Structure 1
Amino acid sequence: MKIILATDSFKGCMTSEEIENAICSLSSGKIEFHKIPMSDGGEGMLETFIAAMNGEIVETTVHDPLMRPITAKYGITTDGTAIIETAKACGLTLMSPEERNPMTATTYGVGELIIHALHSGCRNFIIGLGGSGTSDSGTGMLKAILENYPSEKDIKNVIEKEMSHCRFTLASDVRNPLYGANGAAYTFAPQKGATREIVIELDKRARKFAEKSAVIMGKDTSNFPGAGAAGGLGYAFLQYFNATFQSGADLLLDLTNFEGLLDGADLVITGEGHADNQTLMGKLPERVLRRTLTHNIPVWLIAGRASHCEELRSAGFTEVFSITPDCMPTEEAVKPENARANIRKWVETYLSKPVV
């Protein structure tokens, strides 16, 4: 039996690779597994894309969201493409809960990663926008890039002279605009430590920055889908670098020749930490499902917890599994050792003699 594994991470718990390795190691040797570690552009994006593109991970010193020096990683592929997971430089997890304040947190370190990649010869960039702890509309990133060229006074000149041949692809499934009721501040800033008053101020800042940027660049991308990604970092890439968005999951599925691997497959297993009806709004398991259904291959969805299961089955998932016992609190379920134990029980129950 041939089974394709293409799961997202269980965020804050296990990476995609760890989940797939656990399933393989615990299963019967009679199963032929093909592992495709996945990411939608968020947590684990760097490692999964580098594995898919046969690249290497490099390190450099940048500043974190609070402007403290840290060592951050990014990837370079054999064709000179830079893979940047922005959370490595501006991620929420780089700050303690007490330190989180999107009024002061900056994307400066993301600009430093871009400059380092430029100096390494990269001109093509794949940028993952998940997991940020910032809401500065990318102003920090732009400041870092501008400061690398001290003879220049404005970012437009830098881009035209130094970066005109660069291509930026944004790996993200977020479709929010920069500001407004559905913008970056109102939608995401509360998760990053913002009070109601801070949210209102952040939204005003984003609007003013967009007005200024429209004059500088002669266009306005603030309402483009995805401009609000990563606290407005998506907007800065759209507005200043003519970036394009692509579903991170779709991009990775293309890079790994997913549909070619489906030839002769008996089952596809995908998953995420929490599956519900939001899964069907372009999240990674849904992208895996859509591609697999055209091949008439059953798709199982596993999740730490799952709800709206009938809706998920109606959408095409053959089976939907919640691996966490109902009696186990979430704070216990997200501990890696408990998640692995829950995966083990699921494998013993459903993959000892797979029925598809």
Structure 2
Amino acid sequence: MRIVIASDKFKGSLTAAEVAEALTAGLRRAVRDVVVERVPVADGGDGTLAAALEAGYERCPVTVDGPTGEPVETAFARQGDLAVVELADASGLLRLPGAFAPLTASTIGTGQLLAAAIDAGCRDIVLGVGGSCSTDGGAGLAVGLGARILDASGRPLPPGGAALASAAALDLAPLRARLSGVRVTLACDVDNPLLGPSGAAAVYGPQKGAAPDDVAVLEKALTVWAGLVAETTARDLRAAPGAGAAGGAGFGALALLDAAMRPGVETVLSLVDFEAAVADADLVITGEGSLDEQTLHGKAPVGVAAACRRLGVPVVAVCGRTTLAPDVLKTAGFAGTWALTDLEPDPARCMEDAWTLLERTGATIGDRVLSSGRIAGAVAP
């Protein structure tokens, strides 16, 4: 029996690799001769770098400016001339040294990370966005790659989204020179525009600490920034699907890096050669911390289920909790679903004891499913 564990992280509790480790321990306790292979996955947000490294990519360390200016030790993953860059690991919420900084946090470190990959000879860049703590419209991303954003007096703007209200000139020559011959893929699952009630500031700003007055400041500043970028590049992408991703970093990538947008989980599954890894598997186990409505809109478990359906490989899901009805889970492609809250209803204890609960879940899958072969025959190719 060959089992592939292709789970995303359990956010706030365990990494994807730790989830796989716990499940493996349980499976092997129940079925000693089971062959388990681990292929951690992600949806383009935090965990994307780890998934590439787990798949054998080389880790290339880089020190960049964190979202509020402090040095951050991060890395890009490399395979030949392909580099994987994760915004969350350079400019994400987990990189804030303290409180939220909704008006001043920047994506400059992600731009510096991209620059390091390009300067190292990589010509095919995958940029995974998600988990951002800033709403700077991708301005920091551009500055990190060499662009200059100036106010009416010719002074460089300070970092952060609020400062963009004073943006008057944009020099893209250094950025364009660095990006010559480079292809950028934006791994992203959201389709929000940059501005308006569905835009970066209105929808995602409050998640990053922006009060209503801050949202208004950011919306005005991003409007100025979008106009300046349109004037400079002769194309206006403020309404493009995905422009509002990661506080507008999607806009910066699309408008200034000429990035091509691709669904995040699809991109990650391609990076880790997922279909080859599961082609002859008897069962795939996937999951994430919460299986909910968001899961159905481009999250890793549904992407894994879709790939398994094409290959005729049965797939089950594990999660911390689920708010989805059994028929919805079945329609999404899962032959079975196990939630840790069925073992420990207290959410705090469930997160704290996630490793132990996942091990128990792995043993349950082994006892009730693998030994009987019921799941293996439950999903028709």
Normalising to structure 1: TM-score of the pair? 0.91
One-letter amino acid of the structure 1 residue matched with residue 109 of structure 2: G
Alignment of 1:31-180 (within 5 A): 31-52=34-55, 54-77=56-79, 79-96=80-97, 99-146=99-146, 154-180=170-196
Distance verdict in 2 for CA 1:327–1:38, change over 3 Å? closer
Measure how far apart 1:198 and its partner are: 0.7
* Aligned with residue 316 of structure 2, among 287, 294, 300: 300
Separation in 2 of the partners of 1:43 and 1:225?
21
Distance verdict in 2 for CA 1:110–1:259, change over 3 Å? closer
* Aligned with residue 350 of structure 1, among 365, 371, 377: 365
Separation in 2 of the partners of 1:291 and 1:121?
32
Q: How many matched pairs?
A: 349
Distance verdict in 2 for CA 1:296–1:231, change over 3 Å? same
Q: Secondary structure at the match of 1:294?
A: helix
Deviations 1:199-245 (A, max 9, x none): 12212211221111111001111111111111101110100111011
Q: Secondary structure at the match of 1:72?
A: strand
| Percentage of identical aligned residues | 33
Measure how far apart 1:76 and its partner are: 2.4
Separation in 2 of the partners of 1:139 and 1:264?
45
One-letter amino acid of the structure 2 residue matched with residue 46 of structure 1: L
Unaligned stretches of 5+ residues in structure 2: 149-168, 376-381
Separation in 2 of the partners of 1:257 and 1:85?
18
Alignment of 1:224-243 (within 5 A): 224-243=240-259
Separation in 2 of the partners of 1:332 and 1:135?
33
Shifted more, 233-242 versus 36-45: the winner is 36-45
Kindly indicate whether residue 256 of structure 2 is the aligned counterpart of residue 254 of structure 1.
no
Q: Secondary structure at the match of 1:213?
A: helix
Alignment of 1:206-355 (within 5 A): 206-310=222-326, 311-325=328-342, 328-335=345-352, 338-353=353-368, 354=370, 355=374
Separation in 2 of the partners of 1:157 and 1:339?
50
Distance verdict in 2 for CA 1:321–1:327, change over 3 Å? closer
One-letter amino acid of the structure 2 residue matched with residue 48 of structure 1: A
Separation in 2 of the partners of 1:61 and 1:314?
44
Measure how far apart 1:326 and its partner are: 6.8
Q: Is the 8 A contact 1:40 1:284 kept in 2?
A: yes
One-letter amino acid of the structure 2 residue matched with residue 165 of structure 1: G
One-letter amino acid of the structure 1 residue matched with residue 81 of structure 2: G
Distance verdict in 2 for CA 1:168–1:339, change over 3 Å? same
Q: Give the root-mean-square deviation of aligned CA atoms.
A: 2.2
Distance verdict in 2 for CA 1:179–1:326, change over 3 Å? farther
Q: Secondary structure at the match of 2:3?
A: strand
Q: Secondary structure at the match of 2:11?
A: coil
One-letter amino acid of the structure 1 residue matched with residue 2 of structure 2: K
Alignment of 1:20-39 (within 5 A): 20-27=20-27, 28-39=31-42
Separation in 1 of the partners of 2:111 and 2:332?
40
Separation in 2 of the partners of 1:296 and 1:143?
46
Deviations 1:143-200 (A, max 9, x none): 233369xxxx953322333322111111221221111111111111111111111112
Deviations 1:106-148 (A, max 9, x none): 1111122122222222222111111111110011222233369
Normalising to structure 2: TM-score of the pair? 0.85
